[in-house]
A and B are shown apart, each in its own frame.
Chain A
Amino acid sequence: MKEVNISDLERKFEERIAAEIRIEPNDWMPENYRKTLIRQISQHAHSEIVGQLPEGNWVTRAPNLRRKAVLLAKIQDEAGHGLYLYSAVETLGADREETIDDLHTGKAKYSSIFNYPTLTWADIGMVGWLVDGAAIMNQVPLCRTSYGPYARAMVRVCKEESFHQRQGFEIVTTLAQGTAEQKAMAQDALNRWWWPALMMFGPSDAESKHTEQSMRWKIKRHTNDELRQMFVNATVPQAELIGLKVPDDNLTYNEEKGGYDFSDIDWDEFWQVVNGHGICNKERIEARKKAKEEGIWVREAALAYAEKRAARRKQAS
């Protein structure tokens, strides 16, 4: 039997996972578990950070004072989420700046949704409603993920996410109930964002190379397709409620499975964008690189000052 061959530590680890006991930073863990977590959490962190950019694109053009403040607070939350997650990565012995460098060289991925452009104000509504909506669908089960620091970060994130989707839906609703021009703006944005939002859940279960192991380790709690289905079921009625049409002619409610049937996703487009050939991939990474490069002298200065001051204090005492 296989069990006989695995080490004591590994058995103990598997037992804890089975008993739903959280794994903590100092606990022994298989190298692959650590690697999988570092990959997933840093990818998640990068998504929060890159995710600031498409919305940031509209902060300076937000249509009124209230929307401007709400959008700023929302984007700021995303930066916070990025930080919580980088903190969780660091508990695994990874280095924040090194993981960020991996993002900049293209070695690490981030959610491909953020490679789509925000072209009108309605897109900001769609990002909140659909993109944050899909993110919440993904993130709520992660509050129970097996690695303690990741789970705790997700609890904090989920608490803050709830207003994100609402503010987006409020924007979309206002447009859907507005002038003909506004309604058309909302419909056009839904047409462009619907499919990319569904792609956010990742490749189909048959294609997903990490899903099985991640489920076994209870890092992941649902498969990509399960989550995608949950999202469609939750979102279609919301669209109907405000009189917008989901751009899928094959969308029908299936009584038997208690959910919607929908068309196949354009996987060619999905892989194209994931592999770095979406319309905004280049700009997004360049913007983040620029931010980091412009921060180097600031980082060095603060460090130099802290050292100088510590030395002065030592001398004085």
Chain B
Amino acid sequence: MTKPKALFEYLIRHADDTMILGQRLSELCGHGPILEEDIALTNIALDLIGQATELYEYAAQVENKGRTANDLAFLRLEREYKNVLLVEQKNGDFGKTIVRQFLFDNFQLLNYTQLLNSSDAQISAIAEKSLKEVKYHLKHSSEWVIRLGDGTEESHQRVQESVDDLMRFVEELFFQNEVNELLQEDRLIGDCEEFKQQFYKNVNNVLTEATLTIPEIKYHQKGGRKGIHSEHMGFLLAEMQYMQRTYPGMEW
């Protein structure tokens, strides 16, 4: 594998993470269970789609085949999307949406912090801008995990179920292969093993404050980084790509 190919692959992974999660959150626009939270979740969706746009733009530039950010976002096959399984999971109830967000925010915070030191100026610039957004997302989701976990009996039970369900997708956030190794050689990216412990510590701290228990996961679910998704993904893409597929090659 060449270095530009590796860089493209790396950018696509993270662009897809933010795009697909942004897409999921945008399903809630107008349907959020609480008005103020409808606005908050839409803000997060907007930030994520903004991050996706920057990452796709850079990926398109690195690929240099005339594809645009929009082509990458809307016109690939399901197997070519490399997002982690966590972000494509359905919204579920408000608690599940929050837990999914909380886990992803925790990863993004540490990952972007590491990428501030990237030898690639464009990557560190994207990381710097995104980090400001992610800090707020994490504050928001952590506070909610605590409120729901330590709220009523019902909320505790609901959010515990979501934690139990979603924790099996967490390990995949730390997926690394030769793509990462190649990019680490030139310090374009760091080794995410370095902050894995910190990640679990941060997550556990909040879950503990929320009086939630951390489930022991025996079977971690992985596949997204290789383009093997859950069954939800096809429907998500069918909706997201509807216009581009129905009316090929038009400007909107």
Contacts and interface: CB of A to CB of B under 8 A. Distances in A.
Given A60-B239, A61-B239, A297-B155, A174 B252 contact: yes
A307 B32 CA distance: 24
Given A61-B242, A65-B70, A55 B30 contact: yes
Interface in B201-252: 239-240, 242-244, 247, 250-252
B94 A294 contact: yes
Given A49-B35, A300-B155, A302-B151, A76 B250 contact: no
Given A64-B74, A175-B252, A302-B147, 18 more contacts: A60-B27, A62-B243, A63-B244, A65-B49, A65-B70, A75-B42, A76-B29, A121-B252, A181-B250, A182-B250, A291-B31, A294-B93, A294-B94, A295-B34, A298-B148, A300-B154, A301-B155, A304-B155
B52 interface: yes
B111 interface: no
B23 interface: yes
Interface residues of B, number: 48
Interface of A: 49, 52-53, 55-56, 59-65, 67-69, 72-73, 75-76, 79-80, 82-83, 86, 121, 171, 174-175, 178-179, 181-182, 287, 290-292, 294-295, 297-306, 308
B50 interface: yes
B46 interface: yes
Chain B at the A interface: SS class: helix
Nearest to B94: A298
Contact of A80 (B39, B152, B244): B39
A300 B95 CA distance: 13
A52 B31 CA distance: 9
Contacts of A52: 29-30, 38
A121 B242 CA distance: 11
Which among A73, A80, A300, A301 has the greatest number of chain B C-beta atoms within 10 A?
A301
Interface string B143-155: 0001110111011
Interface string B22-52: 0100110111111111110011011001101
Contacts of A303: 151
A297 B152 CA distance: 8
A53 B147 CA distance: 29
B69 interface: yes
Nearest to B46: A72
Interface of B: 23, 26-27, 29-39, 42-43, 45-46, 49-50, 52-53, 56, 69-70, 73-74, 93-95, 146-148, 150-152, 154-155, 158, 239-240, 242-244, 247, 250-252
A60 B244 CA distance: 13
A51 B230 CA distance: 33
Contacts of A80: 39
Contacts of B39: 76, 79-80, 83
B136 to A, nearest CB: 15
B251 A178 contact: yes
A76 B32 CA distance: 11
A301 B52 contact: no
Contacts of A292: 33
A76 B42 contact: yes
